Amino acid sequence: MNTATPTPAIRATDLACGYDGVPIMEHLNFSVNPGEIFFIIGGSGCGKSTLLRHLIGLQPAITGDIEVFGESFVQATIERRRALLKTFGVLYQGSALWSSLTLEENVMLPLEEYTDLSKQDRERVACLKLAQVGLTGFADYYPSEISGGMKKRAGLARALALDPAIVFFDEPSAGLDPITSRELDDLIKQVSSEQGTTCVIVSHELASIFSIGHRVILLEKQARTIIAEGPPRELAAGSNDPRVLEFLHRGDIAPPPAAG
């Protein structure tokens, strides 16, 4: 029987993140397993979105390395990095839909950028992706004509256009009511389970973290690094770090008990 450990979808090694050579977070070491729903969590200003920008190549690492399925993203040539970017999908916090384009046209953008598909094939794929996120019949709508939750779904359809191995989410529940947020969580879980997609999610929403998260890393502003890593329920039930307990037990949300 083959018991070899699969190559991580993402591995960060002694990573320092920041801007203009000034680190915000340092000594970041973590890995994300293929098919995992992995959360990057922490309070405001701790560096969650900054780390995400480094992982998707929008910001260069100050030091350290990021590997994508065993291949260095930091050291890759421009051509190879472009090829690796094709394996990524990104759902930005505000959905980042072009207001002058229909939903179908928005989803077609990465297909136009990264494929040689004909216009007819691009339209077909776009309609399939919109259907995948529950937006059948909305291809000709503009972003201004749909709700916030539907915009998130349309943004996810665009993120899935190239059938990426990894999808990154920046605060996907931001601005959504609890019911719509739960529906989006269910959709993320469905994408992960049915397609084996690795999902990396920046969030501070406890309901989502406990509902669909397999593992988390918790960033802390003062420590400027990761202070906890593991399944969120287990951290909430068993951590001895008061900073971890304060974050995972805040508000009126009681974390579910750890499995087992």
pLDDT at 255: 57
Q: Among 108-112, 174-178, 245-249, where is mean pLDDT lowest? A: 174-178
User: Which pLDDT belongs to residue 231?
Assistant: 97
213 SS3 class: coil
Residue 143, token pair as written in the block: 């972003």
Task: Report which of 2, 4, 56, 15 is spatially closest to residue 217, judged by C-alpha positions.
Answer: 15
Q: Give buried/exposed letters for 65-76 (b at 16+ CB in 10 A, else e).
A: ebbbbeeebbeb
Q: Could you give the CA distance from residue 179 to residue 146 in angstroms, rounded to a whole number?
A: 17
The pLDDT value given to residue 260: 45
Asked if the model's pLDDT at residue 258 lies above 90, the reply is no
Decide: helix, strand or coil at residue 127: helix
What is the band of 159 on the pLDDT scale with cuts at 50, 70, 90?
very high
Q: Domains, the chain, ranges and CATH?
A: 34-54+81-248 (3.40.50.300)
Question: What does the pLDDT look like over 218-240, one tens digit per residue?
Answer: 999 999 999 999 999 999 999 99
83-128 confidence digits (pLDDT tens): 898 899 999 887 789 999 999 999 999 999 889 999 999 999 999 9
Asked if residue 143 has pLDDT above 70, the reply is: yes
pTM: 0.91
Q: Does the pLDDT of residue 160 top 90, yes or no?
A: yes
Longest distance between any two alpha carbons in the chain, whole Å: 57
Report the candidate in 218, 209, 161, 216 with the shortest Cα–Cα distance to residue 189. Answer: 209
Which pLDDT score, from 0 to 100, does residue 93 have?
81
The torsion angles phi and psi of 165, rounded to 5 degrees, stand at: -75, -30
As a whole number, the mean pLDDT across the chain is 91
Q: Phi, psi (5° rounding) for residue 201?
A: -125, 125
Q: Would you say residue 1 has pLDDT above 70?
A: no
Q: What is the pLDDT of residue 257?
A: 55
How are beta strands 225-230 and 63-68 bridged, if at all?
Answer: unpaired
The confidence score (pLDDT) of residue 9 equals 97
